[in-house]
Structure 1
Amino acid sequence: MGSAVGEWGRVILLFLWRLVMGEARQVMDRLTDAVTTHADLNVISELYAEDAVAFTPDEGELHGRDNIVEYWRTMTEALPEATFQPLHSYEVGDTAIDEGIFSGRNTGPLQLPNGETLPPTQKEIRIRGVDIATVKDGRIVDYRLYFDEMDFLGQLGLLPDEPF
């Protein structure tokens, strides 16, 4: 009987957590799941406002849902089984912030910002990053992604061996 009470306690805590968790946190968690666990571009599209703006280290500023979804398409194709290990998660008003480790194997083509497409390297990557999403009416209106692009490219073996 003690384990049933413990299980009900966990269910109640989860229910209460979801009541307390704000909209920004819920949307960010859905985005993380759609980018990693399920690689679902339809869900990603639903999560962004039509006029959303995103900033990424590799593509710079992206305007509009379609351009942002295209960015995520290239990432999910290049790293189709990526995972995200959260280290810190915050929510302040209408903004959710995550810091964590993004990992995966490059088994798909990687499209570079200059339009060049590289074949899969089959190399594992593990990079620390931060993403920030501001949410209005259930959709992301402003998104910021920060990671060390040189670390990412280096782990893929795409940087020269010698320094410049």
Structure 2
Amino acid sequence: MSDDSQRGFTMLEMVCVLAIVALLASVAWPYLPRQTSRPRLQAYALQAVTLLKSDRAASMRNGLRVDTRLDTSRRLISSGSGGAALKLPDDVGFQATLPRSCQQRPVMATISFFPDGLSCGGAITLSRADLSLEIRVNWLTGRIDIVSRALANG
């Protein structure tokens, strides 16, 4: 006859296994990709594109130049045609690449849209974790596109 009381794991063995698994998880956690970064960053980019397109449409509709203001220090993109603004959180990188001048005047941290559909052009880069999204405004057509780029680790 065999003794069935000796089968299975003891409580101490189970606690040791759980401690090892917890230790491995805590070491690996910082290196796991953050899947929540992509949707949040895309949402901010889409909000920025919506604001830019709204200003472009307002310029064409009203026959006036409309300037979308970019304040990288306050992390703010503000509509020139209404009260809409996008405040970016601190964990989202925010850069603007703009021309020095447009139609013989200094640009001064704005992307300008004109009634004929043209713009001064520019690019807004939003980045978070391992992803960077660039919002490009074409100077000739006023077209607004989002381009995705993966950032190199290191």
Greater relative contact order structure (CA < 8 Å, 6+ sep): 1
Task: State if a TM-score over 0.5 links the two structures.
Answer: no
Q: TM-score, normalised by structure 2?
A: 0.25
Q: TM-score, normalised by structure 1?
A: 0.24
Q: Which has the larger Rg?
A: 2
